[in-house]
Amino acid sequence: MKITFPHMGNVYIAAKAFFEELGQEVIPPPRCSRKTLETGTKYSPETICLPLKVMIGNFIESIEKGADTILLTGSCGPCRFGFYSILEKGILNDAGYDVEFIVYDPIGEGIGKLKQNIFRTFNATNVREVLRAGRLGWGLIHKADHITDLANKTRAYAVDSYRVDFIINNYYREVEQVFGEKEMMDLMDNTIDALNQVEIKKDYNPIKIGLIGEIYTIIEPFVNFDIEKKLGHMGVLVEKSLTPTSWLEHHVSKFPFGSRTENEKYRLAKPYLETLVGGHGRETVGSAIHYAKEGFDGAIQLLPLNCMPEIVAKPILTTVNKDLEFPIMTLILDEMTGEAGFMTRLEAFVDLLERRREENLVG
């Protein structure tokens, strides 16, 4: 079995080391590129949401490098993600790729199949081994997310923000050279040390923006045009409302009760949106309110064109914006989105937040 998975932000870093450590042969998906998107778009239905198109591109690139098994999480929520695996298998088969899908469906869909898939991919023969693997995976993804967060914070405060890019680019290059948990953890520790040594500006109070919206567009830098980097180079402190760690905590490690942070978002969203609308629609509303209460200067909602849960959240954010006098900008992404226009909107939004802050200080 030569396994691969979708490229979603930094998940591939943890997943590569995780499955290598468990003795699996891993073909990590190459970093997303224009070619990945073009390949995915060629084979996908025109109106399907962007993440599926990019994933099809990822899978074809990995299959051409030798992968024969695709790992994917499943869903039963009221949005298209629930049928991604079925649709993707159909698309790949029609395109002539014979590949196996192993889907980690939610527990509500039946424990037997989920257990079988976990034991098989984790190379485990008993629950103890599964728990050991779980701890291993948790440690890796937690540290990978810590690096992303630290890089974003450091970039905003750095005397030379491009020094952060240099460190992170080296990290990404070396991820491909290392093998297994120990080497990956050492590389991550070295990267953290290097980031901590970046010279930072004293007494600097950056504009703070929360990134909210659909999880894939928040965490995958190729589809969001490296928004964290762009804002960081403008001296803006960026925080992401959703990360792989927060997703795992809410849906896996704290299941069935959910994490305290995500439950708090549901509570905040409740006066505006009471029910599940699929994806992270409720979290988007709750996160906007959270960032307003935390004293952030604004929030940016990111969503793929046609994303059902985020389309529901979008008009509600207009009400939140009025009620809390909290600036929120929405950016919709698809394969036709141009980077120059995207950049102009980011600059205009940051400009607006700076002027607002100055006026509040004068007033």
Residue 188 touches ligand SF4, criterion: CB under 6 A: no
Told to check if 247 binds ligand SF4 by CB under 6 A, we report no
State the binding string over 91-120 for ligand SF4 (x if CB under 6 A, else -).
Answer: ------------------------------
Shortest Å, Cβ 104 to ligand SF4 = 16
What separation in angstroms does the CA of 109 have from each of 59, 82, 105, 115, 280?
25, 11, 6, 11, 20
User: Residue 29 or 309: which CB sits closer to ligand SF4?
Assistant: 309
Dist CA 135 CA 185 (whole Å):
14
Contacts of 93 (CB under 8 A, 6+ apart): none
Interface with ligand SF4 includes 349 (CB under 6 A)?
no
Q: Is 304 in the site for ligand SF4 (CB under 6 A)?
A: yes
For ligand SF4, which residue of 7, 16, 53, 80 counts as binding (CB under 6 A)? 80
- Which residues make Cβ contacts (< 8 Å) with residue 344, sequence separation at least 6? none
**What does the alpha-carbon distance between residue 220 and residue 272 come to, in Å, rounded to a whole number?**
28
3-state class (DSSP) for residue 210: strand
Residue 28 or 281: the one with the smaller Cβ distance to ligand SF4 is: 281
CB of 70 to ligand SF4, least distance (A): 16
| Rounded least distance, CB 165 to ligand SF4, Å | 28
CB 324 within 8 A of CB 289: yes
The answer to the question of residue 309 lying near ligand SF4 (CB under 6 A) is yes
- Smallest gap from Cβ 49 to ligand SF4, in A, equals 3
Q: Which x/- pattern over 270-289 shows residues binding ligand SF4 (rule: CB under 6 A)?
A: --------xx----------
Q: Which is nearer to ligand SF4, 85 or 154 (CB)?
A: 85
Count of beta carbons in the 10 Å neighbourhood of residue 57: 27
CB-based contacts of 140, cutoff 8 Å, min separation 6 = 13, 14, 17, 18, 181, 184, 185
Q: Nearer to ligand SF4 by C-beta: 41 or 154?
A: 41
Sheet holding 208-213, edge to edge: 237-240, 208-213, 298-304, 328-333
244 binding ligand SF4? (CB under 6 A): no
CA dist., res. 163 & res. 63, Å (int): 35
Single out the residue of 5, 12, 59, 81 in contact with ligand SF4 (rule: CB under 6 A).
81
Q: Which of 104, 62, 35 is nearest to 247 (CA)?
A: 104
Does the protein bind ligand SF4 through residue 49 (CB under 6 A)? Answer: yes
Binding site for ligand SF4 (CB under 6 A): 49, 51, 79-81, 214, 278-279, 304, 307-309
